[in-house]
Amino acid sequence: MRRIWGGLLLLLLLVGCGGSGGGGGGSTATPSVITDPFLFDHNASINGGVLTRWPSVPVTVDTGQIPDAEAKFNRWRDATGGSVSFVFTGAGAGVRVRLGGAIPDTCAETVVFFTAGGSVTRAEVSLTPIWNTAVCVETVAHEAGHSIGFFGHTSDGGLMDPDGGNGQITGQVANMMRTLYSNPPGTMVKSALLARGAQTPRDGIRSVRFVTPARYR
């Protein structure tokens, strides 16, 4: 049986226009800058070169009573030494996990909403009917990674590969998430400076959609 990776569907949408949200800051302030190509590629690149994360932790999560979902999210807490953590609540949580995804031959879909200033405001995880079958590896843990700021897929054989790989959070991914949550939203990544130039972040809220393929033949 040969595994076919359908790739990552990355869709940026302008879904709302904001006035003065929480991500603006003073226009004369000099933003902090860090250098981390992996962090740029798997987070900041989708938002004009600025780090995009939940503005505070713990992140609130509504698991929708999905079995073992709390433990799957807490794998990220453990892997990052508590840099990112979670509290599990009901309605009104920042991350919402539900059954009901209907994209054929996929395990799940995650949509993350964020501001131009780098603050994640909401994440919606939709699990498809095959999410817990043999063709989908650690689906909830994988989608949890997207919901907290891992905006992309890897090819290192680990959890954040498109098919979930071996189900393990690799050291490089864990280190990236520690760095992400050790710096404030809106921190610029040095590799993005040239492309970003003197542009001003746009107001409003955007979304990024990740579809995790699990197609076989």
Q: What is the pLDDT of residue 144?
A: 98
Q: Please name the residue ranges forming H helices in the chain.
A: 37-42, 69-79, 139-147, 171-180, 193-196
Can you read off the two tokens belonging to residue 63?
């698991």
What separation in angstroms does the CA of 133 have from each of 71, 82, 121, 127? 18, 30, 31, 11
Q: What is the pLDDT of residue 56?
A: 97
Q: What is the pTM of this model?
A: 0.81
Q: What is the pLDDT of residue 211?
A: 75
Q: Judge whether 176 and 202 are in contact, CB under 8 Å.
A: no
Q: What is the pLDDT of residue 192?
A: 56
Q: For residue 39, what is the enclosing H or E element?
A: helix 37-42
Residue type at position 23:
G
Given a cut of 70, the residues of the chain with pLDDT beneath it are 1-31, 192-209, 212-217
Which domains does the chain possess? 30-51+184-198 (no CATH), 54-113+128-182 (3.40.390.10)
Can you read off the two tokens belonging to residue 17?
């226009």
